[in-house]
């Protein structure tokens, strides 16, 4: 075969591989799990408790979703990344005796009951989020978060206790009477903009 034919065959194999991968995802996510994100993550091995809201995409649970456990009543915001391994070993694993092609440093991520993980937070291997805790948007969690603690930043550090957060929340909260989204829009735009929008 000519070089050009080899290139075409290689390109076709890449395209077919992508189609097979997408078909397998479609088959499991839409047919088996009926487009239920939590059912799909459980199928992949993630342990998820009751009453959870998961807004991040399933692929954000990384290559080892079975190393992630989420307890009851947890909210995970959009774009949250779960990283359960140290990928840096790709730089040197070929020269280290006994190194696995998958790497050799892994860690679990455990989120306890009643936690909130803000949008685009990054959770690194070997951490726990204590019960009744929150992680601020965009934070990078490198170590365990104690119970009833609010953390934020890169790296995430405690900024206040849950009790302090509640106290501050009560001072800043907007009393609302709305019972549906339309009423909420009218009420908030009047209170915050001074006019209905």
Cα distance between residue 11 and residue 1, in whole Å: 15
**Superfamily for 44-193?**
Hexapeptide repeat proteins (2.160.10.10)
Question: Backbone dihedral region of 103: left (phi > 0), alpha (psi from -120 to 50 degrees) or beta?
Answer: left
Residue 62, pLDDT > 80, answer yes
CB 52 within 8 A of CB 77: no
pTM of the model: 0.84
Domain limits of the chain? 1-32, 44-193
Higher pLDDT, residue 64 or 26: 64
Interval 13-56: pLDDT, tens: 888 888 888 888 778 777 777 789 999 999 999 999 999 999 99
Give the model's pLDDT for residue 98.
83
pLDDT class of 102 with cuts at 50, 70, 90: confident
CB 146 within 8 A of CB 128: no
Interval 128-182: pLDDT, tens: 999 999 999 999 999 999 999 999 999 999 999 999 999 999 999 999 999 999 9
Give the model's pLDDT for residue 128.
98
């Amino acid at each position: 075969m000519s070089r050009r034919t080899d290139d075409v065959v290689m390109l076709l194999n890449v395209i077919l591989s992508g189609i097979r991968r997408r078909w397998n995802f479609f088959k499991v996510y839409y047919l088996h799990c009926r487009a239920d994100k939590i059912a799909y993550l459980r199928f992949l091995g993630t342990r998820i408790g009751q009453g959870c809201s998961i807004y991040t995409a399933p692929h954000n649970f990384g290559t080892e979703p079975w190393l992630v456990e989420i307890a009851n009543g947890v909210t995970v915001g959009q774009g949250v990344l779960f990283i359960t391994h140290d990928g840096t070993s790709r730089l040197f694993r070929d020269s280290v005796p006994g190194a696995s092609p998958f790497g050799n440093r892994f860690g679990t991520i455990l989120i306890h009951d009643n936690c909130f993980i803000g949008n685009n937070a990054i959770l690194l291997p070997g951490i726990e989020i204590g019960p009744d805790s929150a992680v601020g948007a965009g934070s990078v969690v490198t170590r365990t978060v104690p119970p009833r603690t609010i953390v934020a930043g890169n790296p995430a550090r405690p900024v206040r206790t849950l009790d302090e957060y509640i106290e501050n929340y009560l001072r800043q909260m907007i009393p609302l009477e709305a019972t549906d989204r339309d009423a909420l829009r009218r009420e908030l735009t009047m209170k915050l903009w001074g006019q209905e929008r």
